Structure 1
Amino acid sequence: MATTAVRPSEPAPGRAGRCLGWTLAATVVSGVLFHFGLGFEPVAVLAWIAPLPVLLLAPRVGGWVASAAAFLGYFAGSAGSWSYFLNSLTIPLPGALAILIGAPLLFAATVAFFRRLVRVGRPILATVATPALWTGVLYGVSLLSPVGVMGTFMTSQADHPDVLRIASVSGGWGIEYLVLLAPVAFAAAFAPGRRASANSATPQPAPHASAQPAGSPPAPRGVRTSARAGILVVTAAAAGGALMWGAAAPSGSANHVRIAVLARSQPHWAADPATGAGRQVLESYVDALAVLPPDVRIAVLPEGAFGSDRARLANITGPLSDLARAKRLHIVTGTIVQDPGRTYNTALDVPPTGPIVEYHKWRTGTSPVTAGNDLAFLPGQHIGLEVCMDVNGSSPTSDYAPAGAGLILIPASDEDVDGWQHSRTAVLRGVENGVSVAWSATRGAPTLSDATGHVLADTRTGSTPMATATADVPLGTGDTPYRHLHDWFAWLCGLTALPGLFLTRK
């Protein structure tokens, strides 16, 4: 009896329509979840599930469709940051475009990598290697980028010390890996399997699919039930164990210091007291410092609060020194200092007695100021100085910890919308290296945190003329596994991704 051949390369219209519908739905849902899960003020739990819709979709559609859905989902999810990056004062336009396009491209490549490994029957390798690929590449970007990296999965968890404490062992890269591991494992466990014939105990191809067109991709090998269960159980145990360990944070140090962070809500970059406007800025800070509680021992002002050439620097440090002596107070302020032929973005410690300490910002981005490469401590204390963008990479914080620091004081300047995100990047650096952090930011979120990631006090500029937060801050030990092993986990991720990259070439 004659039969009519059905070519598998021509899917039924109804099936194609359903495929398109599911693709659009996955793209939109992931985009919404990325928007709220990785935004400037993220909902932490959403970061764990934002990749899931496109990961579930990927093994069920073609490679280009999966990659396009992943790219568009991540790109649309970042819409809330487009204006910030394109109009940033610190990130040049080429760098902004690289960030806005590069991150979605990396996510698309990561999803394509996951899809390929699942379809060749390697769900376990897909589970461990997919987040490793993302994390390893992101680590490489952080080393090459002049502005470092922030705003990824690790930063989204920064208000949850039980998650954040993982960074004391693995650095923030362990958090990056873990948050992506959860949706990858779920998607791998529920990836589609190979169908068997209903008329035979031995799986046979259906009559209409017995001949596969030459050059078409191989059919998915499927995922065994034992592999599905193993993926879910092992991932749940690993994630649950890490979070339980993080929740059991050690008690803080008994050595506390009372600190205040202050920032004017009306920004004025590098105010020079030789001008009328500069004198008003200086007077506003002197007035705010004068009414601090008498037990405050350190006050931190923002980056670029003042500016002057070195010959007239006493116009700034003179009034602050008088107040520092009267209140027995260290006053740390960001100051733009101009020398002949050079400009330094500094943090100055104006102490109650002794000489002024000057620290030069290391990470200057594209700014024309001269970068520093030396550490600076408050005299006789285990307290170091940094400036703003210095926290966007592991150093110099990772250099302070072995030098004995237990607390870092950081004048900063943000751009309103990124204030929370940048302050929590500083908190993350503190956890990695076992140091507490005092962060004072114009147009940002002045924050005080301890070495285990607990935010002790914070505030926002804009609600009052002078945003102020005060807390007793314990000095950290500066002794964590990450301090000794540095970026070992990021390198491990790179090695873990290699077998998967090899298999995807076959």
Structure 2
Amino acid sequence: MSRLGPGWPIAATVASGLLFFFGTGLDPVPELAWCAPLPILLLAPRVSGVTALLCAFVAYAAGGIPSWSYFWHSLSVPRPAGIAILAGSALLFALSAGLFRLLVRRHHAVLAVLAAAGLWTVALYAVSLLNPTGLMGTFMTTQADRPVVLQLASVTGGWGVEFLVLAVPAAVAAICAPGIRAGSRLVSVIAVAAVLTGLFFWSTARLSSPAGTTAKVALVVPAKAGYATDVTTPQGAALLQSYVDQIGALPDGVRVVVLPEAAFAVDDASRAGFVERLRRTGVEVVTGVYDTTPQGRFNAALDVPPSGPPVEFRKWHNGDSKNIASGTDLAYLAGPAKIGLLVCMDVNFADPSGGYGEAGTGLVLIPASDEDADGWEHSRTALIRGVENGFSVAWSAARGTPMLSDAHGRVLADTRTGAQPFSVVTADVPLGSGATPYARLGDWFAWLCGLLAIGGIVTAVRRTGETSATARAEDATVGA
């Protein structure tokens, strides 16, 4: 086993920390995310277990500095939860690197790659099920502007992308690790090359498939978006008129306009007049509303067509808000095209997006509200849901990144709010076909990652005969 001087752990930690800093977080460079784990994984088999774990934790924690301020001041993520996310992610990376180290040192190169990436992925899957604000901002999000990579999500969900971004540098590190047999090195090289080549050609073919029916969609978002402005107040009337004026200035052919989350507050007394005012625009309008009803108060997306009854979708996921009731149903615009509705934080979870995908929905309209810093990240979380489930996305976010994307994850148009009094995004959006393999099969790949992690852990902790004696001798050599 190689002996390294004390400078190498520091160099690996700094290099990996810098790569995590620029390759992950709120505004990542996608290619650097693939490189960020590599210095630590190259180091891990060559140093003691404590050193490997400590370097991995520090590198990931330091790389997350851009997110520290966001979580500290976030309105949607409680501060204790933000601290837990940052510390927990660093600990998870350290444990994944530690598992990789143990397996490589026991000459299980292929299993080291699969188990380390599997542990990382299945742990994040568990977080996505348990966290009341869901999950975003992980490795899969860093690749959201790389459609060739993202196509994998249509089969495996975003978990396949999450796994791949860690598995590739792990494979490189395993190939370079000391003590690995030539045959294992060759298998790793062939496997990595085959996977990446196959993904490239399959994704390219999928992206070249012809577009289907399109709908012209517009997003209209003010620079200074209020939240739940009462439509019966002078401020509410002025805001409503400003939206109506912007809608009137849109180009011909717009099928539907989407406004931000909770743009207005309505109740039984004010709803009819509000609906009638939007109906007179002559365009189908979807707006976020805080709707007070006898059943409770809902954060909802309200669809107002030029004629016919309005349709309301009630947000499923409201974080830790106690005074807002949650919906349980899907909702569609009237007409032959399957166009559904969501609200903001709903995209942080597998459902209700999965329900829309399974039903073959072609487009989902999403009023949203962000916190400026997380605007790009949250819009791409919505985009990933579209790729997973085969629908296009209209993301109309206040204080964020209004975005239109197709079902393959290609951004058709987007902008950042704040530069103009109103941000307006318009594009012809192809309707997706829905019913992707992931929409039909669900989180099968995340469960597979769990099996890989368990298999790796069982193999790593098994110390019998010559293998155990050799491992202890190597630890003593490194510690000398």
Range into which the TM-score falls when normalised by the shorter chain: over 0.9
TM-aligned CA deviation for residue 133 of structure 1: 1.1
Counterpart check, 1:411 vs 2:367 = yes
The runs of at least 4 aligned residues of structure 1 exceeding 3 Å deviation read none
Aligned to 2:476: none
Larger Rg: 1
Correspondence for 2:341 among 379, 385, 388: 385
Which amino acid is the alignment partner of residue 486 of structure 1?
G
Aligned to 1:359: 313
Aligned to 2:201: 244
Correspondence for 1:446 among 377, 385, 402: 402
For structure 2, the residue ranges without an aligned partner over 5 or more in a row are 463-480
The CA distance in 2 between the partners of 1:101 and 1:36, in whole Å, is 18
TM-aligned CA deviation for residue 279 of structure 1: 2.2
- 1:233-382 matches, within 5 Å, as 233-249=190-206, 250-323=208-281, 327=282, 329-340=283-294, 342-368=296-322, 369-380=324-335, 381-382=337-338
Q: In 2, are the aligned partners of 1:261 and 1:470 still within 8 Å (CA)?
A: yes
- 1:148-159 matches, within 5 Å, as 148-159=134-145
Which amino acid is the alignment partner of residue 248 of structure 2?
A
The CA distance in 2 between the partners of 1:95 and 1:283, in whole Å, is 39
Aligned to 2:54: 68
The CA distance in 2 between the partners of 1:270 and 1:372, in whole Å, is 18
The CA distance in 2 between the partners of 1:262 and 1:28, in whole Å, is 43
The CA distance in 2 between the partners of 1:184 and 1:412, in whole Å, is 37
Q: In 2, are the aligned partners of 1:264 and 1:442 still within 8 Å (CA)?
A: yes
TM-aligned CA deviation for residue 267 of structure 1: 2.1
Aligned to 1:399: 355
TM-aligned CA deviation for residue 341 of structure 1: 6.8
The CA distance in 2 between the partners of 1:54 and 1:20, in whole Å, is 14
Counterpart check, 1:52 vs 2:35 = no
SS of the aligned residue for 1:401 comes to helix
Q: In 2, are the aligned partners of 1:40 and 1:418 still within 8 Å (CA)?
A: yes
Q: In 2, are the aligned partners of 1:31 and 1:76 still within 8 Å (CA)?
A: yes
TM-aligned CA deviation for residue 315 of structure 1: 4.4
The CA distance in 2 between the partners of 1:404 and 1:54, in whole Å, is 43
Aligned to 1:204: none
Q: In 1, are the aligned partners of 2:107 and 2:181 still within 8 Å (CA)?
A: no
Aligned to 1:212: none
Aligned length: 459
Aligned to 2:440: 484
Identity rate, percent: 53
Aligned to 1:104: 90
The CA distance in 1 between the partners of 2:200 and 2:138, in whole Å, is 19
Correspondence for 1:144 among 87, 106, 130: 130
TM-score (norm 1): 0.88
**After the TM superposition, which of the residue ranges 355-364 and 225-234 deviates more from structure 2?**
225-234
Superposed CA offset, 1:187-215 (max 9, x none): 111112xxxxxxxxxxxxxxxxxxxxxxx
SS of the aligned residue for 2:171 comes to helix
The CA distance in 1 between the partners of 2:231 and 2:424, in whole Å, is 22
TM-aligned CA deviation for residue 286 of structure 1: 1.0
TM-aligned CA deviation for residue 129 of structure 1: 1.4
TM-aligned CA deviation for residue 271 of structure 1: 1.1
Q: What's the C-alpha RMSD, in Å, of the aligned pairs?
A: 1.5
Superposed CA offset, 1:108-138 (max 9, x none): 1000000011111211210221111111111
Aligned to 2:121: 135
